[in-house]
């Protein structure tokens, strides 16, 4: 619900449980007024008078300075000396942008963002969008701030559109959202960090004076930081305390952080990384920032995550696979790596059929001269030695066994040892006069170019049209460097990183619309590009190349801060684990993979009878429980970052079924008794688990007993409300 109090010039944006307010100050300046628990009454008219006078600050608003006022979308060059949301340089060499309030419009629903992924609404959703118009009249630069209020989902999606009606200007920073907090005391900052095979660990640190930021500068969102931060009370827990989440629907370079000043006021920000970003706007041109999704929870991190999960699962992911059960795949990679031929794949599929896998995925190594990772990327046609009968034949053979057929691509890359590169070296990202550093013997195709995008669309289409391919794994295995485009003039080289992402989104939009029956999964050396932007096109992501059950507990737990388990592809793999050599029980591997999108990545032909039996049971159980894992609410009860075990609770949408997953990372022989307190149950109802029944009250207050007395204990308890 959006309400404008015209007397006091205050906008109130309310969801079921939250309110976000902005005020027009002195007829000119748009201020941030409030974000927190839902308000039922207006702010006190003197809310701003509470700010003390501060010497030194430039006083451009009577006794006030823009440097101390909580601003909604601040600008560089003005009297606001904090980190700015927007910066531009003009033809006269000046860089002072001064935005003043012009007006507003409220529209039903939510307009799409041109060329960019974004949350959306459907018929019947309670969603309204407020667009506030600001302008710099000297330079003719107009800014439209957009706020879509998802009333029932407790989220606000923000973005800014910059329209230049003046002389040529260069935009050098344009965040998607900033929020100024006053009285920002004893707060902490939370973000998700890591690297290849240890993605999205939770980092929590005190907010101290100055700027604390996380960034990506590698051309994609990356494994090092995820485009998400949360600001929280010092004592916020999983189920209590104020938490403010900022998540960016974008897959390129980003920056997010907090700038704490000397008077307990802090500015949180998220958006495109200003480093290496410079966008030229000629008269009449515009720039649309990506969308930032803001979630406030008074119920700690659990409340925040559940809001993100529901929004991203139902109003960011799209297409036919959004709501239906997906595929249980066998992926060939860890079984064959680069050594196979068409018969190997048919044999793998035959074995897979025995345990109930429904999709055979052929990973890397099937095309052109790709027999190692040193050649072939860019040349998307079958390797005649390996697949002499062609992909059409192979897909048919797999189909005859009752399985779907899926295929791996890495469309954004090219090996210098490829026909494509030999023909079009200018199609790779490069800086004139410099060598391009390869990684994994590959360089990045310049997706900022239309001709490159069309080539990739055509190449993939010709493969997808040629064979019955029902699943695509879209990989991306290097960070970008020496970025430049041969197709853009010198003054527009600062646009390449962003234009690359726009090109990628164009290709993904075209292909996913053209092939609506293909399930697309994204991957970037595992979870190196696990972000909301990619989820808009592909509803699931290969969470990590690390499929070890113990490590996956932490990776999946950290990922769940923002992303639902329905988006996490998780495979049962062989032991010792190929990434780090750990041996875990087969049952634990199955149990840890099950809440995600279950799959397998091992040689089923080499499994023992017992493992085959367990695999069959796991798939059957998964099919029975997947709705609870994927559509239910998640309660994180025990963190694997804090204890030697992990406990997760999934509550079905109708609240009748509850699954408790307990997994031990490391046991302590003769260790202590633990009582895991469940949540969100009906205290007066009884729940059956096996042949026992318990009151909800008992499970929530007394708790479920667990003794972490052995390595890798894995329990999955199913409670049904009677
Ligand atoms: C990446 C992926 C793996 C596999 C290989 C193939 O590392 O994350 O799953 O597809 O590429 O080269």
* DSSP state letters, 321-356: TTTS----EEESHHHHTT---HHHHHHHHHHHHHHT
Q: Who's near 167: CB < 8 A, 6+ residues apart?
A: 90, 91, 139, 140, 283
Residue 59 confidence (pLDDT)? 83
Determine if ligand 1 sits within 6 Å of the CB of residue 333: yes
Q: How far is the CA of 314 from the centre of ligand 1 (A)?
A: 28
Q: What is the pLDDT of residues 189-211, one digit of tens each?
A: 999 999 999 999 999 999 999 99
User: What spacing in Å lies between the alpha carbon of 642 and ligand 1's midpoint?
Assistant: 30
Residue 333 has pLDDT above 90, yes or no: yes
Of 722, 648, 645, which is closest to residue 691 (Cα–Cα)?
722
The pair of structure tokens assigned to 549 is 């059950």
299 lines ligand 1 (CB under 6 A): no
Q: What is the pLDDT of residues 560-585, one digit of tens each?
A: 999 999 999 999 999 999 998 999 99
Looking at the CA of residue 525, tell me the nearest atom of ligand 1.
Answer: 8
Residue 525 CB less than 6 A away from ligand 1: yes
Does ligand 1 have an atom closer than 6 angstroms to the CB of 180?
no
SS (H, E, C) 176-217: EEEEEECCCCCEEEEEEECCCCCCCEEEEEECCCEEEEEECC
Token reading at 603: 């040689």
CA 580 – CA 602 distance, rounded (Å): 15
Per DSSP, the residues of 294-327 read EEEESBHHHHHHHHHHHHHHHHTS-STTTTS---
Verify whether ligand 1 is closer than 6 Å to residue 408 (CB atom). yes
Q: Confidence band (pLDDT; 50, 70, 90) for 24?
A: very high
Characterize the bridge pairing of strands 469-474 and 443-444. Answer: unpaired
**Ligand 1 geometric centre to CA of 443 (Å):** 16
CA 664, CA 693: separation in Å to the nearest integer?
25
E strand or H helix at 617: helix 609-631
pLDDT of residue 525: 97
Q: Best of 335, 377, 408 to mutate for ligand 1, by most ligand atoms within 8 A of CB?
A: 408
Has residue 367 got a pLDDT over 90?
A: yes
Q: Give the distance (Å) from ligand 1 centre to CA of residue 607.
A: 23
- Closest-lying ligand 1 atom to the alpha carbon of residue 408: 10
Across all residues in the chain, what is the average pLDDT? 97
pLDDT tens per residue across span 337-356: 999 999 999 999 999 999 99
Quote the strand ranges of 43-84, DSSP E: none
Q: CB under 8 Å to 571, separation ≥6 — which residues?
A: 329, 331, 547, 593, 598, 599, 600, 601
For residue 594, how many other CB atoms are within 10 A of its CB?
22
CA 232 to CA 189: how far, in whole Å?
Answer: 6
| 347 is a catalytic site residue | no
Q: What is the pTM of this model?
A: 0.98
Q: pLDDT at residue 55 above 90?
A: no
Tell me, using a 6 A CB cutoff, whether residue 542 lines ligand 1: yes
Please identify, by atom number, the ligand 1 atom nearest to the C-alpha of residue 373. Answer: 12
Q: Is a pLDDT exceeding 90 seen at residue 522? A: yes
Residue 475 annotated in active site: yes
Question: Of the listed 475, 531, 548, 551, which one is catalytic?
Answer: 475
Indicate whether 62 pLDDT > 90: no
Q: Is 475 in the pocket of ligand 1 (CB under 6 A)?
A: yes
Distances (CA, A) of 36 to 19, 20, 21, 227, 296: 6, 7, 9, 22, 6
Q: Is the CB of 477 under 6 A from ligand 1?
A: yes
Please provide residue 589's backbone torsions phi and psi, each rounded to the nearest 5 degrees.
Answer: -60, -40
Cα 422 to middle of ligand 1, angstroms: 24
Distance CA 357, CA 498 (A): 39
Q: How many angstroms is it from 526 CA to the middle of ligand 1?
A: 7
Residue 365 in contact with ligand 1 by CB distance below 6 A? no
The model's confidence at residue 220, banded by pLDDT at 50, 70 and 90, is very high
| Probe target for ligand 1 pocket from 329, 364, 367, 569, with the most ligand atoms within 8 Å of CB | 364
If you measure from the C-alpha of residue 408 to the centroid of ligand 1, how many angstroms do you get, rounded to a whole number?
A: 9
Structure tokens at 503: 């090109």
Residue bearing the CA closest to ligand 1, atom 11: 525
Distance 586 CA to ligand 1 centre (A): 23
Q: Identify whether 576 is preceded by a cis peptide bond (ω within 30 of 0).
A: yes
Nearest CA to ligand 1 atom 7: 525
Q: What is the dihedral of CA 485, 461, 515, 446, to 10 degrees?
A: -10
Among 180, 358, 545, 663, the active-site one is: 545
């Amino acid at each position: 619900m959006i309400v404008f109090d015209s007397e006091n010039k205050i906008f109130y944006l309310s969801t079921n449980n939250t309110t976000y307010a902005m005020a027009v100050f002195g007829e000119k300046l748009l201020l941030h007024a409030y974000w927190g628990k839902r308000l039922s009454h207006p702010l006190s008219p003197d809310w701003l008078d509470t700010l003390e006078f501060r010497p030194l600050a430039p006083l451009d608003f009577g006794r006030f300075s823009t440097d101390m006022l909580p601003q909604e979308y601040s600008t560089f060059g003005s009297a606001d000396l904090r980190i700015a949301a927007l910066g531009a340089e003009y033809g006269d060499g000046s860089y002072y942008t001064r935005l003043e309030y012009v007006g507003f419009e409220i529209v039903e629903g939510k307009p799409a963002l041109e060329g960019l992924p974004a949350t959306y609404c459907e018929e019947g959703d309670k969603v309204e969008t407020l667009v506030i118009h600001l302008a710099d009249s000297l330079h003719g630069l107009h800014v439209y701030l957009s706020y879509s209020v998802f009333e029932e989902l407790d989220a606000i999606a923000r973005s800014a559109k910059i329209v230049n009606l003046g002389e040529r200007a260069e935009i050098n920073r344009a965040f998607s959202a900033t929020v100024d907090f006053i009285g920002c005391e004893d707060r902490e900052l939370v973000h998700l960090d890591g690297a290849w095979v240890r993605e999205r660990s939770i980092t929590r640190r005190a907010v101290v004076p100055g700027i604390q930021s996380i960034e990506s500068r590698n051309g994609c969102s990356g494994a090092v930081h995820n485009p998400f931060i949360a600001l929280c009370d010092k004592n916020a827990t999983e189920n209590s305390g104020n938490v403010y989440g900022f998540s960016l629907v974008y897959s390129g370079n980003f920056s997010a952080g907090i700038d704490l000043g000397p008077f307990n006021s802090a500015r949180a920000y998220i958006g495109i990384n200003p480093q290496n970003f410079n966008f030229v706007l000629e008269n009449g041109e515009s720039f649309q920032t990506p969308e930032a999704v803001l979630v406030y929870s008074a119920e700690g991190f659990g409340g925040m995550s559940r809001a993100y999960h529901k929004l991203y699962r139902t109003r960011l992911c799209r297409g036919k696979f959004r709501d239906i059960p997906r595929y249980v795949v066998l992926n060939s990679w860890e079984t064959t790596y680069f050594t196979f031929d068409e018969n190997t794949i048919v044999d793998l599929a035959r074995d897979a059929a025995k345990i109930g896998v429904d999709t055979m995925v052929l990973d890397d190594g099937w095309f052109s001269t790709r027999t190692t990772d040193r050649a072939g990327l860019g040349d998307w046609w079958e390797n005649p030695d390996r697949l002499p009968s062609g992909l059409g034949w192979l897909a048919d053979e797999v189909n005859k066994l009752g399985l779907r057929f899926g295929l791996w691509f890495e469309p954004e890359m090219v090996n210098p040892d490829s026909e494509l590169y030999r023909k079009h070296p200018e199609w790779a990202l490069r800086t004139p006069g410099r060598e391009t550093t390869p990684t994994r013997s590959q360089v990045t195709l310049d997706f900022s170019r239309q001709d490159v995008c069309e080539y990739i669309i055509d190449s993939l289409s010709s493969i997808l049209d040629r064979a019955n391919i029902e699943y695509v794994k879209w990989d991306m295995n290097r960070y970008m460097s020496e970025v430049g485009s041969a197709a853009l003039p010198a003054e527009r080289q600062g646009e390449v990183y962003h234009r690359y992402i726009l090109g990628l989104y164009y290709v993904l939009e075209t292909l996913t619309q053209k092939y609506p029956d293909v399930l697309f999964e994204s991957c970037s050396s595992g979870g190196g590009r696990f972000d909301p932007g990619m989820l808009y096109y592909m509803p699931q992501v290969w969470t990590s190349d690390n499929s070890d059950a113990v490590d996956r507990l932490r990776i999946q737990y950290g990922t769940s801060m923002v992303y639902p388990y329905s988006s996490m592809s998780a495979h049962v793999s062989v032991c010792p684990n190929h990434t780090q050599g750990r041996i875990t029980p087969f049952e634990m591997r199955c149990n840890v993979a099950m809440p995600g999108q279950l799959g397998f990545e091992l040689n089923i032909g080499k499994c023992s009878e017992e493992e085959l039996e367990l695999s069959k049971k796991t798939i059957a159980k998964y099919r029975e429980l997947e709705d609870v894992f994927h559509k239910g609410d998640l309660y994180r009860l025990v963190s694997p970052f804090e204890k030697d075990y992990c406990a997760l609770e999934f509550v079905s949408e109708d609240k009748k079924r509850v699954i408790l997953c307990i997994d031990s990372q490391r046991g302590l022989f003769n260790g202590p008794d633990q009582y895991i307190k469940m949540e969100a149950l009906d205290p007066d109802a009884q729940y059956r688990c096996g042949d026992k029944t318990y009151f909800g009250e008992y499970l929530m207050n007394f708790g479920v007993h667990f003794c972490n007395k052995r390595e890798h204990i894995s329990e999955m308890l199913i409670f049904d409300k009677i």
